[in-house]
Amino acid sequence: MQDKDELAQFRADIRAWLDQNCPQEMRDGAVGEDSICWGGKNWNFTSEAQKTWLDRCAAAGYTVPTWPQEYGGAGLNRDQEKIFHEEMGRINARRPLQSFGIWMLGPALLHFGTHEQKLHYLPPIARGEIRWCQGYSEPGAGSDLASLQTKCEDRGDHWLVNGQKIWTSYADKADWIFALVRTDREAPKHRGISFVLIDMEAEGVSTRPIRLISGASPFCETFFDDVKVPKSYGAGIPAQVGEVNRGWDVAKYLLTHEREMISGSAMLAGGARSLGAILAEGGNLDDPILRADAMRAEVDDLAFGLTLERYKDQSEAGQGTGDASAMLKYMGTELNKTRQELIMAGAGSDALDWADGRAPQWLRSKANSIEGGTSEVMLSILSRRVLGLPG
């Protein structure tokens, strides 16, 4: 905790910086898919302002405000981070950069990576130069993720990777992938997994998009056919994060961040606006059953929003909420599904035309309680690790 004067000064500094550096076009509060800057080697900026905003934020460490300065962040603590986001919100600033590098790989590297790995990978993530994707699930390894079979064989100076990943979001647009692979086929399933970093341009890597019930999607299948992965990308930069065969620890840690990310984005998808206001636009709040259901959902959504804040406040800046992330993920995604159902019910037949746009969101929300661990897996985690119920 810093004293009030220091934080007030910090707020004034941030406000002045934003005032000078945030382009007007980036102050429209847009959060939709079309407005996101994902970065990466092949990124096409949608406007000059988007590029300017990213470059200025990156130079100040504000794309990853809580990361240490030497790795491209601004080194903010939790109080400062809150102020930063409040001031961003005050001028409706867009987020300068979003990526799986920021949300998932970065925290894992900060926790498990060597100093050289951090220096090598984190600054390009912070600057939006390298775009990452996640290779976790396989066709035969969903909820039972640790049964994954993608083969990673030791060939002396390199690893040879063969296998298939599924649900690799944006694999077709990513520059690199962080993937779970099996490096020991004899060991118990959790003890033969490694967390390796692979260049998507490596020979033998290919991707194929997946069409969802909601239409086109960022999800892909990713195939590895005799992909040669160097054992080292430089001094102190092994291909894997953490030790070989100890990738499951990294995987689990990263999953807690992924779950927080999903619970947070489930809130963003609609939690900020009153459900009553949304339904009132459609004029269907007169239906007493819909109205009662919406009132219940509103109560729950508001209380859940407070819960997200409370858990973030409890955790250190940039650190995860640990096992409790399973609660945030479970509740956030289930509430978002309820919300989407109510929005569809409120809109009636107006929302049934694809062009209306609400149906894809409603359908997509069904994946929330599956991706990153199903609701049922979350409940099992909680019952074992938080409640201490017997296996």
Partner 1 sequence: MLADAARGFLDEAAPVGKLRAMRDAGQTHDPDLWQQMARMGWAGVLVPEEAGGADMGHAAANVLAGEMGRSLSVSPFLSTAVIAATALRQVADERAKTALASIAGGTRTYALAVDEGAKHDPEASQLRAERVGNGFRLTGGKRFVIDGGFADRLLVLARTDAGLTLFDIPADRAGIARSAQRMIDGRDAAQIAFHGVEATGDDVLGQVDGAMSVLVPALRAGQAALAAEMAGLAAGAFGITVEYLKERKQFGAPIGSFQALQHRAAHLWCECEVTASAILHAGRVLDESPGDAGLAVSLAKARATQTAQLAVQEGVQMHGGNGMTDAFDMGFYMKRARVGAEWLGDYGYHAGVVARLRGF
Q: Which residues are the active-site residues?
A: 258
Which C-beta is closer to partner 1: that of 268 or that of 389?
Answer: 389
Interaction of residue 294 with partner 1, rule CB under 8 A: yes
How far apart, in whole angstroms, are the C-alpha atoms of residue 37 and residue 350? 31
Q: Can you read off the two tokens belonging to residue 244? A: 């070989």
How far apart, in whole angstroms, are the C-alpha atoms of residue 355 and residue 74? 42
Which C-beta is closer to partner 1: that of 227 or that of 278?
Answer: 278
Interaction of residue 274 with partner 1, rule CB under 8 A: yes
Interaction of residue 310 with partner 1, rule CB under 8 A: yes
What is the bridge-based pairing of β-strands 151-155 and 220-230? Answer: unpaired
Interaction of residue 277 with partner 1, rule CB under 8 A: yes
CB of 309 to partner 1, least distance (A): 8
For every residue of 336-368, DSSP letters joined together read HHHHHHHHHHHHGGGGGSGGGSHHHHHHHHTTT
Residues 319-338 touching partner 1, rule: CB under 8 A, are 324, 327, 330-331
Which C-beta is closer to partner 1: that of 353 or that of 376?
Answer: 376
Interaction of residue 281 with partner 1, rule CB under 8 A: no
How far apart, in whole angstroms, are the C-alpha atoms of residue 79 and residue 264? 18
Interaction of residue 376 with partner 1, rule CB under 8 A: yes
Which C-beta is closer to partner 1: that of 54 or that of 335?
Answer: 335
Interaction of residue 383 with partner 1, rule CB under 8 A: yes
Interaction of residue 77 with partner 1, rule CB under 8 A: no
CA distances for 255 relative to 51, 58, 128, 272, 382, angstroms: 30, 26, 22, 25, 14
- Can you tell me which of 68, 218, 264, 276 binds partner 1, judged by CB under 8 A? 276
Query: Which residues are CB-neighbours of 292 under 8 A, at least 6 positions away?
Result: none
Give the residue among 141, 145, 218, 149 at the shortest CA–CA distance from 182. 149
What is the bridge-based pairing of β-strands 176-182 and 193-199? Answer: antiparallel
Give the residue among 267, 268, 287, 290 at the shortest CA–CA distance from 343. 290
CB of 225 to partner 1, least distance (A): 39
- Can you tell me which of 309, 316, 350, 353 binds partner 1, judged by CB under 8 A? 309
Determine contact, residues 58/127, Cβ cutoff 8 Å: yes
Which region among 15-23, 138-146, 226-234, 287-295 touches partner 1 (by CB under 8 A)? 287-295
List of residues contacting partner 1 (CB under 8 A): 274-277, 279-280, 285, 291, 294-296, 298-300, 302-304, 306-307, 309-310, 324, 327, 330-331, 376, 378-380, 382-384, 386-391
